[in-house]
């Protein structure tokens, strides 16, 4: 595979497109100029920093650094997703465990199945993708769970009143939350190649890879993501749903009250 070299000049030139975004934002008074600037600057700083981190890890070629990087990504993923799951009491731990399990099982499986070797060059980018997508799915699922438990409190309590356990009473709500967490990825997987070209494929094609190779690698990653996203959303919902209830199968008033 040939390698592609992108100069800082090329990056600077692409800022012209950010200027287009800013111009449209000003013209249409969307008041998003500040957000666009912050997003563009953050992307530059964060990607540059992680670029150096990844270079360091590749140079060391030690798995312990890979594990440390993935642990940090899981931690930040859980902290970020928690902000989307405000209506779920104590959402941090379910999210942290969900992302950790999704990362470990997914990476473990792709290595065990011989799809990728257990080296930093593969584990770091695949891990980053897995955790990023798992975070989004878990955050969407818990966001929905928090809203739906508050909205369905009457129905949940009516079910508890018949002698249902907390898990039984919240099951329809939990199922909807799980679905809303994973449906975006299923939809984008369905339309991939038709409506949009996924990032890995674009990157490989730009880097000069043969289209067949680009497609195959993209397929491996899409299938990997499906598994990891379902795992993360399921674990997050299963762990988080308990936080709405007391051990005596009572819906916590604070869980509903804190949700307004």
Query: Nearest to residue 86, comparing CAs of 24, 158, 160, 147?
Result: 147
CA distance 223 to 240: 26
| Site of interaction with another protein (CB under 8 A) | 154-155, 157-165, 168, 172, 248-251, 253, 257
Residue with smaller CB distance to another protein, 21 or 164: 164
Nearest approach in angstroms of CB 181 to another protein is: 21
Q: How many CA atoms lie within 13 A of 85 on its CB side?
A: 33
In the complex, the smallest distance separating the C-beta of residue 256 from another protein, rounded to whole angstroms, is: 9
- CB-based contact 240:88 (threshold 8 Å): yes
Smallest gap, in angstroms, from Cβ of residue 63 to another protein?
Answer: 48
CB of 251 to another protein, least distance (A): 8
Compute the 3-state secondary structure of the chain and give helix, strand, coil in percent, each to the nearest 5: 80, 0, 20
**Rounded to 5 degrees, what angle do the CA atoms 108, 111, 114 make?**
145
| Cβ nearer to another protein, comparing 180 with 224 | 180
Query: Which residue's CB is nearer to another protein, number 26 or number 158?
Result: 158
CB of 7 to another protein, least distance (A): 59
Burial 41-58 (b: 16+ CB within 10 A, else e): eeeeeeeeeeeeebeebe
Identity of the residue, 230 or 245, whose beta carbon is nearer to another protein in the bound complex? 245
Cα–Cα distance measured from residue 58 to residue 16, given in angstroms and rounded to the nearest whole number = 32
Q: Which is nearer to another protein, 121 or 252 (CB)?
A: 252
């Amino acid at each position: 595979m040939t390698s592609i070299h992108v100069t800082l000049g090329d990056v600077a030139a692409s800022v012209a497109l950010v200027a287009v975004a800013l111009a449209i934002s000003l013209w249409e008074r969307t008041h998003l100029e500040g957000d666009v600037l912050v997003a563009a600057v953050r992307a530059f700083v964060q990607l540059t920093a992680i670029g150096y981190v990844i270079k360091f890890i590749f140079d060391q070629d030690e798995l312990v650094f890979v594990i440390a990087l993935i642990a940090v990504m899981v931690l930040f993923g859980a902290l970020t997703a928690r902000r989307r799951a405000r209506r779920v009491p104590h959402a941090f731990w379910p999210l942290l465990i969900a992302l950790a399990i999704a990362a470990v099982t997914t990476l473990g499986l792709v290595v065990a199945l011989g799809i990728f070797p257990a080296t930093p060059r593969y584990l770091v980018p695949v891990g980053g993708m897995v955790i990023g997508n798992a975070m989004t799915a878990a955050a969407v699922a818990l966001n929905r769970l928090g809203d739906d438990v508050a909205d369905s409190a009457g129905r949940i309590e009516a079910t508890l009143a018949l002698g249902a356990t907390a898990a039984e009473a919240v099951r329809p709500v939990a199922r909807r939350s799980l679905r809303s967490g994973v449906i975006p990825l299923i939809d984008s997987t369905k339309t991939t190649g038709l409506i949009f070209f996924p990032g890995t494929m674009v990157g490989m094609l730009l880097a000069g890879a043969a289209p067949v190779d680009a497609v195959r690698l993209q397929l491996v990653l899409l299938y990997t993501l499906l598994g990891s996203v379902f795992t993360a959303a399921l674990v997050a919902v299963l762990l988080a749903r308990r936080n709405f209830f007391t051990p005596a199968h009572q819906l916590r008033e604070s869980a509903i009250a804190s949700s307004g």
